[in-house]
Each structure stands twice: as C-alpha cells, then as structure tokens.
Structure 1
Amino acid sequence: MDGFPIGLVLFALLVVFVIAGLGKTIRIVPQARAGIVERFGKYKATLPAGLNVVVPFVDKVRYMIDLREQVVSFPPQPVITEDNLVVSIDTVIYFQVTDPIAATYEIANYIQAVEQLTMTTLRNIVGGMDLEQTLTSREEINSGLRGVLDEATGKWGIRVNRVEIKGIDPPPSIKDAMEKQMRADRDKRALILTAEGQRQSAILTAEGNKQSAILNAEGDRESQILRAQADRESQILRAQGEGQAIQTVFQAIHDGRPDQSLLAYQYLQMMPQIAKGDANKVWIVPSEIGKALEGLGSTMNSLKGIPDDVDGPAKRVDMGPASLDVAEIESEQKEALARAHDEVAAAIAAAEASTTTPTGTPVTRNAPGDTPPAGDPGEPPAQ
C-alpha cells in the first residue's frame, strides 16, 4: 500500500517529461517565415515553413525572420539644400529579407540601420541640389536612394525594392514666397489672355464695322440709282400725261365752240375760289356786277378766236360709257401701261440722241411717233 502512490507519481512525472520533450522536439514555422536554430548558442540550421523536428533541450529556435516585403515609414528629416535652405523630407522604404542568416548575424537591427543609411544618403543627394531642383526631382532622388541602399544592405541579407519620398516641406517663409510667385504668374497669364481676347474682339468688331459700312454704302448707292431712275421715269410719264391732258382739254374746248356766256359763267365760278384765300380778309362785291360782267364780255369779245355767238349746235365731247366691265378696265390699264412704257423708252432714246447746235441752243430729234410742232413756239396758234 505504501509503494503504490510513489510509483504513480513517478509515472506521472515520466508522462510530463515525455510531453515536454515532444513540445521541444516539434516546431511549426508559419508560411513566409524562417526559424534560426542554435545549438548551445551556435547557429545550427534554418527551419523552413511547416512542421520541423529539433533535438529537445539541445537545439533552440532563437529568431523567427519574416520573409515578406516590409514597408517602413521614417519621420521627416531636416535636410539642407545647395542654396542653404532647410527642408523636411520624409521617406518610405520597401524592403525584403533574402538571407535570414545574414539579417540575424550580420547586423543587430537592420531596420534602424536602413533608417540611418537613408538619412545620410538623402542629405548627400539633396545637398547637391537647389530648392527648385529638389522640389521637381523626386524621381532622381528616389533612384539615387534606391541604388545606395540596395548596394549597402546587400551584405545584410536585405533587398531594397523601392524608395519613395512622401513629402518635401520647405520653410514657411519660402512657402509664402512661392505662393506669391505662383499667384503673380497666374495673374500675369490671366492679364495676357484678357488682353489677347480684347485685341481679338476689337479686330473682329472693326472688321464687322468695315463690312457693315461697305454694305451700307453699296445699298445706298443702289437705292439712289434706283430712286433716280424712278424719278426720271416718273417725270417723263408725268410730262407726257400733262401734255396729253393739255391736248385733250384744248381739243375739247375747240370742239365745244365756247361763247361769251360760257366765259362769264366760268368767271362767276372762280370768284368764290378767289375769296377763299387766307390773305383775303374783306371781299367787296360791287353793285354794278351786271355792268362788270357786260364789260368783261365786251373785253373778251375783242379776243381773237372767241366769237360772240356760234352757229349750229355745240359739239359734245364723248366721255365714254357710264360704266365699264372690270375685265375691260384691267385690259385698258394694261394697254395704257404698255403704251406708257413704250413712250418712256422712246423719250429716253430721244434724250440720248439729242445734240447741241454750234450757237449753244439744244436741238432734239423727234422720237418715232411724235408730231412735229406747227411753227415757232413763241408765236400764237393759227386761227
């Protein structure tokens, strides 16, 4: 009974020892990781990803190295340019561990080493550039940093894949000066564009006014020509119409064979018309109006060509039918217009064919269809 508990305890201790030994023997390494195994403080092996077996209590996994690409952002660092201006530059490094053994035993802290190397290299590169070149040469700075870092970190088992500059911040005074310069440049370009636009507008406006003046002048010239031609034709037609009216009235008077009583009647009809004048304020009718009319008749009797009495019945002037058909009126109007056009053309031809005598008196050739005058215009018509 006394030995049973002791054996149970020993068995339990043996089971615990075996479990602990198995725990120290089996090592599971995650994907994209590498385990550095040391035996009694000395490098023994590198464990790949997966299930690995080591000697318990003899081998020890000292470091677990991440083989993935890593990104490290460094805080802004003051850098002096060639023109003695201090700018703050912050960078981002993309690197990857390619040799876990070198990254473990060649350097104590490779991230800190990369940061310090980036700072010194950045100062060397930017120190040979002025501010404007620094602000516009990011790609050149990135290439220079990458080349130096890749060459220096190769022996540490690290490969620098990419270097990026996050920002370059000049001093506040330089920022204000740059903003003023950019604002002045923008104002200058705006003024230049405005002036060019005004010039183009003035040129187009002047060209438009020129074309408008030319067209207005041409229109005025053509309208004056057409108006003159219309006035000439209208005067010719009016003169011909007045001539025809005079001939018609004169012929009607001779055909009617007027006497002294008709002239006295016409005189009486004209007296009210004379009294209608604006300047005639007072009109005196003589008491001897009859004697005045007799005297007027006796005076008119002495005129040639107007007899006291006429023989036979008076000849009436044919005034045409009382009403005409609309079609007949239109046809007559068309015929009258055609005759007027022909007469205007004949008058124009006669005016163009007119010549001047050596003494300076104009002589006009008779147009076709015109009746030559009977005698001297200054002499009275023959009886």
Structure 2
Amino acid sequence: MPLVILILLALLLLFVIVLLAKTVRIIPQARAGVVERFGKYLKTLPAGLNIVVPFVDKVRYLIDLREQVVSFPPQPVITEDNLVVSIDTVIYFQVTDPIAATYEIANYIQAVEQLTMTTLRNIVGGMDLEQTLTSREEINNGLRGVLDEATGKWGIRVNRVEIKGIDPPPSIKDAMEKQMRADRDKRALILTAEGQRQSAILTAEGNKQSAILNAEGDRESQILRAQADRESSILRAQGEGQAIQTVFQAIHDGQPDQSLLAYQYLQMMPKIAEGDANKVWIVPSEIGKALEGLGSTMTNLQGIPQHVEGPRKRVDMGPAEPQQPKTDAELSETNAAVEAAIAEAASAANPGRSSTAADAGPEETDPAIDPGEAPPAQ
C-alpha cells in the first residue's frame, strides 16, 4: 500500500507540473502569441506572463514584432533594350498586425519575395540598361510604394527597399569597361591638351614680358650710355681746352727762342730713328742751323737772352676743377670758349695767319714780339 500511495502522489505531482506548464505562458519582449481555442482564434498574448486554460487554449504562433531584414537571391530581369541583368534586393519590413500576418497569408516572407521580383521586373522593364544602372533611388521608391500597398492587408509594413547589386552580362560589362576606359583616356587627353595650352600661353606671356623688360633695359642702358658718353665728351673737351690753355700759357711765359727749338730737335731725333723698319728718315732743313745755334749756346750761351723785355700776357686758366655744364646753353658756351682758346693759341703760334672765320677781324699780336722784326741772331 505505501508504494501505491507514493506512485499516486508522484503522478499527481507530475500532473500538477504539466497543468501549470500548460496554464502559464511567458511571451518574450517584442513578441506576440496568437492563442486558439479548439482551433479558433481566441486572443493575442502580449509580452510577459500570461495565463491560459490548459488543454483548451493553445498558443499556435509566436510572431516577431521587430523589424526584419530579408535578402533575396539575384533574379534575372530584362531591360527595355532586351538585356538581361541580375538584381539583388534587400527588404526591411515589420509585422504590425499579428492576426493578419497569421491568418491572411500562409508565408508572408515568401509572398514579399515574389511580390518584390514581379514588381522589380515591371519597373526595370520600362528602363534601358543605362537608366537601370543610374536610377537606383527611383527603383527603390517604386518597389517600396508597391510593396507597402500590397502588404498592408497582410499586417506587414515595408520600411525600406534597397538594391544590393545590378550585374549586367559579361559581354556588356566588358563593353562598358572599354567605354569607361575610352572616356577616361579622352578626359586625360583633354586635360593634357589643356595643360599644354596653358603652359604655352604662360610661356608666351613670360617671353613677352621678358622681351619687354629686356627692351626697356636696353633703352635705359643706351640712354645712360649716351649720357655717360656726353658727359665724357664734355669733360674730355674741357680737359683738352685746359691742356691747350696750359701749353699756350707756358709758351707765353717761357718766350722760347731758337736754342730751345734746337734742343727739341735733338731730343726727337732718337725717336725718329727707332724701329727696324725705319731704313730712311728725313732730317729737317733747319737741323744745321739748330745744331749751330746749340753749339754757340754751349760755348757762349748767346742764344738765350739775359733779360726778357716786354710785358707778358697771362691767360686765364679757369677753375682748378672742371665744371660740368648743366644745360645745353652752358655746354654751347663752353664749346665756344674752347674753340676761341684754340684759335687764339693757333693765332699766337702763327702770327702771320689769320684767325678762323668766326673770329675774323684785326689780328692781335704779342707786344713782346713784333712780327715784322727778324729773329735774333744765333
């Protein structure tokens, strides 16, 4: 008897456990349980702890209320220009009505896949290949609108539809790659030509600017060189004028005679005889008298006067430092003064000749030397 009682108690305990398991149902978060009583829909259990009648009520389906992502395999689609492309799609959807998703459609995932394929063929069939490759956003919006409208009665909301990939045939892909390569080569050639054109333009502009600057530099250089030559000529003329004045003054102050001229002849004779090519050289006719006078000067010194008679005419030497004329008028005055000094020196050296045409008039003679008198005896 005790053993039978223990078996009965064990069976009773097991029955209680099974009864509690059938009575208490725990629904996870974001899930919904569809309860049927004798095969007929009774109610929908929310998330959490729920009590049902055991052996009468049954949780037939457990519906996931979260957003789901389903990726469909590539499907061949024919475009408007009769090209077959493979398109992969991704669907983001969510169950909003567990009852409709359970009783309105047997397999809503398969239904969404088939509806996506048929809708995709309708949309892509009205586009050519280029439009299909560049109009993904338009295809996505068209698919979403059709799917959302068709799946509404199934208790499903399509949130987003994405085209994962569009693969044209290998021959078309090869042709497209060649076209893209040709376009890239064309753009590269265009960019290279534009770069060469810009380089040529910049080089020409640089050469132009260089030529302009060189011309300006040459012009300024010529102007400065001309000014330097002008100033050099002015200073050279002033120096020559002062040199002539100095020589002329020394001639007037020294009052030379035949002895000095003879001595100058003797000094010039070695220079006349210099050089291997000088085979013949001319002796001036006055050299005999000059040597005779030089001999007399060496013995009796009769050629050199003891006292110089008559007043000496001094010549104004001008300033010690040459003054550069600042204007053309001053330069003309300086040139006229130099020419006058040269004419005066020439007139003094050759008393018998007349002065230049510009200074025509009565000749001035040195009061110390009378042109009419004969030279002193040697």
Is the shorter-chain TM-score for this pair beyond 0.5, marking a shared fold? yes
Q: 2-side partners of 1:159 and 1:284: how far apart?
A: 135
**By how many angstroms is 1:34 displaced?**
1.1
Give, in whole Å, the separation in 1 of the partners of 2:80 and 2:198: 46
Distance 1:225 1:119, change over 3 A: same
Match of 1:340 among 323, 328, 343: 323
Question: How far apart are the structure 1 equivalents of 2:208 and 2:227?
Answer: 29
Deviation at 1:91, TM superposition (A): 0.5
Matched, 1:186 2:184: yes
SS at match of 1:279: coil
In angstroms, what is the RMSD of aligned CA positions? 3.4
The residue number in structure 2 matching 1:264 is 262
Q: Which residue in the other structure is 2:8 paired with?
A: 10
Give yes or no for contact 2:272–2:281 (8 Å, CA) kept in 1.
no
Instruction: Determine the structure 2 residue equivalent to 1:206.
Output: 204
Amino acid in structure 2 at the alignment position of 1:294:
G
Asked whether 1:82 is paired with 2:61, we answer no
User: Does the 8 Å contact 1:260/1:297 carry over to 2?
Assistant: no
Displacement after TM superposition at 1:369 (Å): 12
Query: Structure 1 residues 278, 160: closer, same or farther in 2, change over 3 A?
Result: farther
How far apart, in 1, do the equivalents of 2:12 and 2:307 lie? 181
**1:314, CA displacement in angstroms?**
7.0
The correspondence for 1:376, drawn from 326, 351, 355, is 355
Decide whether aligned partners of structure 1 residues 236 and 158 sit closer, same or farther in structure 2, where only a CA change above 3 A counts.
closer
Which shows bigger deviation, 264-273 or 102-111? 264-273
Give the structure 2 partner of residue 96 of structure 1: 94
The partner residue of 1:309 within 303, 306, 309 is 303
Give the aligned residue type for 1:341.
Answer: Q
Which segments of 5 or more consecutive residues in structure 1 lack a partner in the other structure? 301-306, 316-334, 352-363
Moved more, 267-276 or 98-107: 267-276
**C-alpha distance in structure 1 between counterparts of 2:263 and 2:67, whole Å:** 137
Distance 1:377 1:308, change over 3 A: farther
Verify the 8 A CA contact 2:261 2:290 in the aligned structure 1.
no
SS in 2 for 1:128: coil
The 3-state SS of whatever aligns with 1:75 is: strand
1:133 maps to: 131
Structure 2 residue ranges without an equivalent (≥5): 295-300, 310-318, 348-353, 366-370, 372-378
User: What are the within-5 Å matches in structure 2 for residues 120-269 of structure 1?
Assistant: 120-269=118-267
Return the letter of the residue paired with 1:142.
N
Aligned-partner Cα distance in 2 for 1:250–1:349: 22
Shift in CA distance, 94/284, structure 1 to aligned 2, threshold 3 Å: closer
**Structure-2 residue corresponding to 1:43:** 41
| Change in 2 beyond 3 A, CA 1:226/1:250 | same
Are the structure 2 counterparts of residues 93 and 343 from structure 1 closer, same or farther at C-alpha, using a change threshold of 3 Å? closer
* Aligned partner of 2:112 among 111, 114, 134: 114
Equivalents in 2 of 1:343, 1:38: separation in Å?
128
2:316 corresponds to: none
- The percent identity for this pair of structures is 76
SS at structure 2 position matched to 1:340: coil
Q: 1:147 to 1:107 in 2, by over 3 A?
A: same
Distance 2:332 2:267 in 1: 44
Asked if 1 retains the 8 angstrom alpha-carbon contact of 2:259 and 2:303, the reply is no
Please give the TM-score of this superposition, normalised by the length of structure 2: 0.78
* Aligned-partner Cα distance in 1 for 2:131–2:288: 128
CA contact (8 A) 1:66 1:97 kept: yes
Cα distance, 1:274 vs. partner?
2.3
Instruction: Give SS of 2:73's match.
Output: coil
Q: Secondary structure at the match of 1:74?
A: strand
Partner of 1:62: 60
* Distance in 2 between residues matched to 1:55 and 1:269, nearest whole Å: 161
| CA-CA distance at 1:222 after TM superposition | 2.9
Structure 1: distance between partners of 2:159 and 2:100: 18
- Shift in alpha-carbon separation, 1:191–1:336, aligned structure 2, 3 A: farther
Q: For 1:306-355, what per-residue CA distance to the aligned partner results, in whole angstroms no more than 9, with x for missing partners?
A: x972421579xxxxxxxxxxxxxxxxxxx644x4224985553349xxxx
In structure 2, distance between residues paired with 1:166 and 1:126? 15
The range that moved more, 164-173 or 205-214, is 205-214
**DSSP-derived class of the 1:51 partner:** strand
